[in-house]
Every structure is written in structure tokens, then in C-alpha cells.
Chain A
């Protein structure tokens, strides 16, 4: 008689913990062959708000860390992911029905992407900031700072898509509330386990699983969210509604990009889109 396996309960990832949805709801997630994998938590408006509270609470500490320190934390996420690659490959194959080679490609790219972004932490300031030679006796310096709490609608591609939108935000010091891909949410929660064991402070990344149409409007209109990345929104009408709602407090908006090639090396824009430029003046004299 074969052994009965112990199945994992997939919950949300908020404030460094893995709570169930306060709504008590879940939804069925099947694998590519239509077999039940798990009942994923179906996040509610209240869960989204809790996630924003956690992200806001984490912002001061995370953005206040040295860039070197943030780089090491994100690099450690890559290390831990490397150590658990077989699990992620198996999950991707089951959920998306892709070949082992394809799954390996995605995991490789996800790890490499984390490493690539980790390296940017203490270089982005040097590339996008500058000294300004003003016409007067003043020291004048422009430096980038994170916008704050960013809501993200993750694209399809449960691992690489998610890493590609979250890593550029946290490496610069933002904190994130991300709505995982609705159809394949489980890998996002497993990635949460990786983050939770990689010295990433609780609340820096918060992962919600559930309905994009249900949760995203509450994040788009939330007055304590500073920006919203609509990359994973595939319905044009919903994207427009979210952008309109985001105007209430002038969130920085990244519009949808459903056909992005996630395997290609990114540009800087995913980082710079949610950076502010701060310019400091001081007189020069004796």
C-alpha cells in the first residue's frame, strides 16, 4: 500500500506571515490536466487593506536600509530559490503543463533575474542620480528615492512573471502588495516561503491570491498606496478603470503590458517608474 502524501495548505503571504483569507473563502486550483492541486485562499478587500498596512509598516525600515544590505537580501532570495529549484520546476510543470526543459528555463531565468536586480541596489543611484552644476554658489544633488507602497497586478507566468515585476520594486526600497496570477497562484505563495526564509523583512512583499477584478480596484483607490503596476491586467476596460481610480491620490501608474517577453533582459524602467527624484540644495560659502 503506497504512502498517503501530506498536502500543503496554500494561504496568503501578508506581513511575513501566512494567514488564511479573513473572508474564509478559497477557490479551486487545478493542474494543467484538470486535477485538483489545492484550494487557494481567495483574498478579500480586507486582506488587501491588511497587506497595505503591512507594506506601509515595512517601508521605513526597508527603504532605510543601506543599498548594500538590500542587495544582499535580494541576492539571498536567489540563493534560496536555487536550493529549491526542483520544487519550483515540478510546480511549474504541473501547473502549466510545460516540458521539463521549459520549466528549467523559467527557474533559471527567475534566479538570474533576482541576481541581476540585486546588483542594481547600490548602482541605480549612480546611474539615474546626478550632481547639477547650477549657476550659483550651491551644492546641488539629485538622487532617486522609492515612491513608497506599490500595488502590483502580476502577469501570467507564475514564477518568472512575478519575479520580474516584484524584484525591481523592492530592490530600490519600495514595498509591495502583489496580486498573483489568478489561474496559477500557488507558485507565488511558494515563492513567499522562499522570501520569508531569506531575511526579507515581513511586509516588504505581500502576496494575495484570488480575483484580480475583485481585489485590484480596492488597491487602485487606496489612499495609502503610492503607485500601481497594471502589468498583469489583460482586460482593457478594467485597466482603464484602475487607472482612473489611481488618479484619486495621483498614484504613479504603469500601464498593462500583456505581451512582454519575460525571458529578455529588462531595461531600467521597471525600477525608475516607481522612483522619485529628490534634489537637495545647499549654499557654498564660508
Chain B
């Protein structure tokens, strides 16, 4: 007999979503001069709120506020004082952690299990970590001179975590910021604005302007922005690199990936299968460093595939606010269309498609966890970032062949290696051209650990001591 799970819904009562939101400029919520747009719950398609779309004039106001705060307050304040504001923010994030997690799951569609146990704790830890750097920058190796005003544009896959990755090091180093959350997931950034108010952060140090591509472009190309930090698609990353050419702007780009997760025949298979699942189905596969290409050694390919399918069949897809949900909603109709399109292309190219049997809700944007076998290097599903719960499986025979296939991509963000042989782990880690290599684990993040890519996955690092470099002038400044 089987025991069905009873529903275990997380209460929505803890969040208070207003019908409409303005922009957060100079410490106050203000009406923008532009139009507005709606943000929806991707699990239900319910409209959550009207959000202001910041115009060029609004962005200009935000940059002015950031510049004023930088010259008059923030750059003059001692590192020790800046640190205390960051510690306050970290504490308030912990105090309001459940509220943040619920709101994140409602606006983004990710399972509450992940927003509660991964995103929000790491967000708080990030502010804690960088708070401690604020008065120790002279030991960083990058000097202690800030750049000025940072313009930051973040994606929808980890709305609050990406905000923390951007704002914490920027503020710790003495910069002020204008940040644009993603169009489909602005709500936790606006709640963060409230947290800044609760912390009595001086007005203008953090400015949050909501909007879409045009607003992002206005921030990036604003002449009084000294630093641009962007996480998102490689295509937009290239446009930003072109836009800042010839200027003095410093740039950090965290872009796409097509990580190879490499499983050798001596790997602990059950652990490896968990790692594969975590690598591609964590956050619905909306992860730039997702293990979207499984490279499995030929001799264990069948064994791994049968265990993987068995495990995939147990994944619980559905209501993001149910505490037992493993895989939530796709973030938007647009993203769902892209995942469907690439999956159809995978089939038409001759790869074999298998999806986990699961009931998908009637409303909202859903895609069943899917795996493609018989994939070859030339297939588009082996080359392009799908950014969804879709795994492409390739096989290899020798370590050199695995390296050749793993590195055969314009990306270079992350990679995984599963084997029991220590010397092989280290040799693979040495030869993989990727910024993060997870050995016998996957998708692990920590504020002390730098993250970022090689090649077309972007440049610069976020997190750790290395994450300070993008926000300081350098040791000889």
C-alpha cells in the first residue's frame, strides 16, 4: 500500500502584498513618471500587484540620489559604521525570513522548501559576511577605495539572493546602488526596500527601480554610473559590454552556462543521482550553473538512467507553497514557451525524450521534469541553455573524452565530477574550464565562496574575498 502525502501548505497570511508599488528612491517610495506593469504568481496566473515601470527620468533621479548619498554620507562614513548597517539588514532579513520566503515563492514560483531553506538563509549570511569586510578592506588585497555609484540589474531566478550578491559587497566597499529587479519578480526587492527603511539606512544608499529591459538599459548607460553589475542572459551581457565600451565603467557579468555533470563508473551512484537531480531540477532548472548536461561513463549509463528515472518519478511537482513540493512553477509564460520550443527541437533532432509522470496543475506555468537521452554534441539541446527542468544526457568512455566534451562549449560557469578516486577528481577539476567545480556534490553556494565564469559565462566574481574586487578601485588606487 502507498501512503499519499497530505497537503502541507505554508500560510500566505504572513505576507501583505499591496495592490500597487512605486519606486524606492532616496529612502522613500515614490510614484514613477512611467507606465506600470503587473506581476503575477506563475503557479496560478493570479495578478499580484501593479508595479511602476521606471522611466529614464526616474532612473536619473535614482542615480542622483545614489550620487548624493555617496558623496555626502556613505563614502565619508567609517567602515565600522557601514558594517553596522549591514549587520542590521542581515538581522532584519533573519527576523522577517519566513515572510521573505513566502513572498519569494509566490512571486517566483519556486518551492517554499527552497526559498525557506536555501535562498533566505544564504541571503542573510551574505549580508553578515560582507558586513564584516566593511572595516577590513585594507586586508582584502584590492585596496579600500570605492568606485561610487553601482548600477545593478538582476534576474528572476533567485530574486532576493541575486539582490544580496549585488548589494552586500557594494555597500560594504562604500558604494551606493541603483538596483533593478527582474520584471517578473520585483516583490522581494521592494520588501527589501522596506527592510532598508527599518534599518534606518541613510536615504539614497540603496535605490530600487522596477521595470523591464528599457529601465535596465537606462541604468547601464547612465553616464554617472561608475560600475555595472549584471546577472542574466549572455545575449544581454554582450549588449552591456558593448554599451560600456570606451567608458570608465567597471563591469561584472554573471551570464549563462551549460554545465557538464560528469559521472564516472566508480561514483557512488545513489549520491550521484541525487546530485544530478539537484543539479538540474533545483529551482526548476532556472539556474545559470545548472548541471544541464549529464556526461555519464558508458559502462554505467544504463544503470544511472534507470536509477535517475526512478528518482525523477518521485519528484513532487506542484504548489510552490506546499512544504513537500520539490519542483515548482516555471517563472513565466515566455520562459515556458522557450523550454517547450527547445524540448521540441531536441525531439526533432532525434534525441529520446522522457518526462516524469506527474499531474500538472490546470492553471499556471508548468513543465514536467524531463530527460533526453541519445544526445550528441551537435544537438542544440546540448549546446544552448534551456533554463528549465530539462536534462541532456551524453556518454563518454575516457576521462579525456569527458573533458573534451565538457569544455566544448562557449560557456564556462560550472561543472560537476562524480568519482571515488581522489587523484581523478583533482585531475578533472584542473582540466575543466569552469569557474566553479563541484566534486561529489553540486549546486552548493556560500557567501565565502567566489562564483563566476570563464569565457562567455562572463567575468568577475561574486562572493568571497574575490567578490570585493568588482567594487573597489584596486590596491594601488
Contact = CB atoms under 8 A, between A and B. Distances in A.
A33 interface: no
A132 B449 contact: yes
Nearest to A127: B141
A280 B141 contact: no
Interface stretch (B104-112, B300-308, B437-445): B437-445
A267 B475 contact: yes
Given A132-B448, A250-B237, A281 B441 contact: yes
A135 B412 CA distance: 25
A276 B454 contact: yes
B254 to A, nearest CB: 11
Interface string B311-332: 0000000000000000000000
A239 B326 CA distance: 50
B356 interface: no
Interface magnitude class on chain B: 35 or more
Contacts of A250: 234, 237-238, 241, 253, 255, 455-456, 458-459
B255 to A, nearest CB: 7
A259 interface: no
Interface in B230-272: 234, 237-239, 241-242, 245-246, 248, 253, 255
A98 interface: no
A281 B439 contact: yes
A132 B436 CA distance: 13
Interface string A254-286: 010000000000011100000011111111000
Interface in A193-241: 226, 236, 239-240
Interface stretch (A104-112, A136-144, A164-172, A180-188): A136-144
Contacts of A136: 444, 446
A185 to B, nearest CB: 27
Nearest to B448: A132
Interface in B369-417: 410, 412
B475 A132 contact: no
Interface stretch (B13-21, B23-31, B460-468): B460-468
Contact of A236 (B246, B435, B461, B466): B246
Contacts of B441: 138, 281-283
B439 A252 contact: no
Contacts of B174: none
Interface residues of A, number: 38
Given A244-B242, A248-B238, A249-B456, A276 B435 contact: yes
Nearest to B469: A272
Contacts of A282: 425, 439-441
A147 interface: yes
Contacts of B132: none
B439 A279 contact: no
Contacts of A283: 440-441
A267 B242 contact: no
Contact of B238 (A247, A268, A269): A247
A240 B459 contact: no
Contacts of B234: 250
Contact of A240 (B125, B245, B458): B245
B39 to A, nearest CB: 30
A252 B459 contact: yes
A28 interface: no
Contacts of B435: 276-279
Contact of B451 (A267, A276, A279): A279
A243 interface: yes
B49 interface: no
B241 A279 contact: no
A222 to B, nearest CB: 13
B245 A243 contact: yes
B455 A226 contact: yes
A215 to B, nearest CB: 19
A279 B450 contact: yes
A60 to B, nearest CB: 9
Contacts of A246: 241, 245
A128 B141 contact: yes
Interface string A85-127: 0000000000000000000000000000000000000000001
Closest 4 CB pairs of A and B: A240-B246, A247-B241, A243-B245, A134-B446
6 contacts: A130-B464, A244-B245, A269-B476, A276-B412, A278-B435, A279-B450
Given A246-B241, A250-B234, A268-B475, 7 more contacts: A133-B448, A135-B125, A138-B444, A246-B245, A248-B238, A278-B434, A283-B441
